[in-house]
Structures are given as C-alpha cells and as structure tokens.
Chains A and B, each alone.
Chain A
Amino acid sequence: MVLMKKFFLSLFVFVASAGYAVGQYVGASSVSISMSSTRTAGQNAQAPVTMISSGATKSALSPVSPTQSVSTKPQPTTVTKSNPTKTPAQTPTQTPSPIPTPVPAPTPKPQGQYVDGTYTGTPGDAYYGIVQIQAVIQNGKLVSVDFLQYPNDRRTSQYINSQAMPLLKSEAIQAQSANVSGVSGATDTSQAFIQSLGDALAQAKNA
C-alpha cells in the first residue's frame, strides 16, 4: 500500500512536471526550438522529442489517458548523448526533473499552470526524419501526445523505426598525431598523387 501510494504520488508529480514542461515548451515554441547555432539536425530534434517520447513519459501518462497514442519508438535521446557541442538551448526540456523515480518526490506543483487546448510543436529533424508532435491539455493537465509527423517515407526509415533507436555517439572531430600505416579518405585522384610526387621531386631537387 505504501508503495502504491508512493507510486501515485510520484506519478502525480511527474505528470504535473511533464505537463509543466510542455507548457513551457509550447509557450516557447513560437520563439523557435531549432535554436542551435551549431546546426546539427540530431540536436535540434532533442527539444521536441526527448521530453515527450521517452518511455518514462509514456508509462507515467498511460493511467491518466489510456487512449493516448504516445509512440515510444523513436528515441534519439542517445544520439547526441556525448556531444560536446550540445547547446543549452534545450532548456525547456530541463526545467523540471521529468524522471519518474519511485523516490517520494517533493511538494507537488499546483495545477493549471497552462491553458487547455491542443498545441502543435514545431517540426523537428529527428536525424532520421521529421517528427512533429501535438499535445492536448485538459483541465490543466497533459492528457495526450500524438505524433503528427513521423518518419515513414522510406522503407529504411520504417525498418529503423521498428528497432530500438540505436546508440549513436557524437563528438567534435579533432586532429590526431600518430603514424599510421595508411589513411582512409574519399577516393584520391591521380592529381593528388601527382602533387605528392611533385612535392617529393621538389624536395629531392633541394636535397
């Protein structure tokens, strides 16, 4: 019983905070969510997707609205996990702590911080296609999240979406200093070969 109580308490807190986050997000969306100046599609997609499509969100929301159609398939949350250039522009997703842990949560937030209605998010490039969501608020609560756009234009995408989102890691490239047996790059032309030869010959001349 205690456990159940804890569960419902944290459920309530989480729904409230998730709803708050959506409220924040919806409010901010007119400004723009593709704010990142270091334009990488995967990153831009974080704002609309991480918050709403995470499996955790789904499990917390389900009892509230059994008919809601959150899809948990695309989870690009890990795509840029270790990306050092991740910008702080995703603040809307970070405002409350949307992690439903069984730990008793602090004081529940009051409801009604956002206005009832249906809100459509800005389309986000989720790396493998466009994702656009629609959130419905009723009685100040987030009751459903639907995907308006979902990558399904190609077989590849469908196949990919049927899998758990892969664990891709990103990093900024950095020059390495090492002696290597060879270098892999896009096809060298004869021109490159000639240049290199010319250079070697020039050195030979000056030697």
Chain B
Amino acid sequence: MRETRDIMGMPITIEIVEGASAPLSAVFDYFTAVDERFSTYKSKSEIMKINRGELQKKECSDEVKQVFSLAEQTEKDTNGYFSIIRPDSSIDPSGLVKGWAMRNATALVQDMGYKNYFIDAGGDIQSSGNDADGRAWTVGIRNPFNRSEIVKVLRPQGWGVATSGTYIRGQHIYNPHNPEQTIEDIVSITVIGPDIYEADRFATAAFAMGRKGIVFIEQLPNFEAYLIDATGIATMTSGFERFIA
C-alpha cells in the first residue's frame, strides 16, 4: 500500500508492499511527532523554544540532544561545511532532521517485519527490497531545469538517495565559510550513501562546497554522487555508474 501525506512542509510518500494502512499510519505519525519537536515554524517546538531562549540545550529531549550531537559530528565530517547554526546564530537542524527521521522511520518499518518498502520524503529516498511487481525499486534524478523531467534512472539497491539543490526553494543552502556568497555554479547534487541519513547530510554539505562537492564525495568511501551545474553538464563520481538502471 502506498500513501502520500504532507508533513514537515513536504510531501512524504510511504509504500509498504505487504502492508496495510496501519503500519503506514504508524510511520506517518512518527514523522508528525518529529515535526512537532523540531519544526522551525511551529512556535511550540523545542527548537523554537531554544531559539527564543526559553529552553536550555541541556533541558532538551533526548531526541533533540541526539540530533545536536549528530550535527556536531557532521560538522567535523564535512570540514565545517555542514552547520545547523544560521548566520543569525539561530539553530536550524532541518538539514539533518529529515535524514535522521527517515532513518528512524526505516527502522520502524523493519521492526514491524517488512522487507519491501519505499520512503520518499521531499525527494530524499530510502528503499528496500522490491516493488509490488517484484522489480527492484527505481529512482529518477529530477531535471533541475524542468521539474517534470528526469535525467537519470537509478537502482538504489537498498542505499539512500538524497538530492540537494537550489531549484525548488531558491538559495536555501549557504556556505557556512562564506554566508554572503550564494551558490550559483552548481544547481543540484544527488548523493547515494549507505542509508538515507548518510546520503542526506553529505548531499547538503557537498552542495555547500559548490564544485568541490563532487570531489569531496569521490574521496569518501561508500558514497557516490551526480552533480549538475548551471550549464546542464553533469559530473559523476567514479563508482556512480553501478547504480544506473
């Protein structure tokens, strides 16, 4: 069964091949709970309370503490290109929360005993097993210049696929080393990683690096990427082709 709901400001599609509506609802409920806690739009969220100075970091829930510690780790892993601290020094963990929530949602589905499923949260995709026809799941890479087109078809084989780019929300990613500089040279980078949490956080950081992002991914073991620049030229890492359908 497949269903799409609008949570965390994006469409989330979940398909559990052998599942009925109950397991789907359980996973959607999990995403809703994450949104309540981490939203940067909902005034009652923990993040908003922290940003208003009403809540100390040490008083946060374990989930929020965990995300903060993962964010610190990611900042180190990406030479400072990933940061949840905005230029105005407020905290915005959205760049990490989506992938983290998807990883936890995946664990939830696994724990319920399902092997064949597909989770798509705003274009970041974690799949496992096969689709309802018994075929391997496929993921298209969206054409940044025409959102109704795809420019590549992938078989993720259980790996996570995340894309970071400028084309839907405008310049929503900035370079923490140079916040004033907009990232115009490249328009999107799609990263394949061991799971969606890994793919998502490195996609965000690699995009912030601009052209260097693809080289950064190249030297990371277990990661592949497909970068599209403003002229419509794509550059892929050396092991990317094994994921092309």
Contact = CB atoms under 8 A, between A and B. Distances in A.
B87 interface: no
Contacts of B11: 188, 190, 192-193, 196
Contact of A156 (B13, B143, B209): B209
B231 A39 contact: yes
Is the contact region of chain B dominated by helix, strand, or loop, or is it mixed? Answer: strand
Interface of B: 4, 6, 9-11, 13, 15, 79, 98, 118, 120, 122-125, 127, 131, 137-144, 146-147, 149-154, 161-169, 172, 177, 185, 188, 190, 209, 211-212, 214-216, 218-219, 228-229, 231-238, 240-241, 245
Interface string A175-207: 110111111111111101100100000000000
Interface of A: 38-42, 79, 83, 85, 127-129, 154-157, 159-160, 163, 166-176, 178-190, 192-193, 196
Given A39-B231, A184-B162, A187-B169, A128 B215 contact: yes
18 contacts: A42-B211, A160-B212, A160-B215, A166-B237, A169-B238, A173-B234, A184-B161, A185-B123, A185-B147, A185-B165, A186-B123, A186-B163, A186-B166, A187-B169, A187-B172, A188-B122, A188-B168, A190-B11
A172 B165 CA distance: 18
Contact of B168 (A79, A85, A186): A186
Contacts of A167: 238
Contacts of B127: 181-182
Contacts of A38: 231, 233
A180 B153 contact: yes
A181 to B, nearest CB: 4
B142 A183 contact: yes
B150 A175 contact: yes
A171 B240 CA distance: 13
A39 B211 CA distance: 13
Nearest to B199: A184
B139 to A, nearest CB: 5
B139 A184 contact: yes
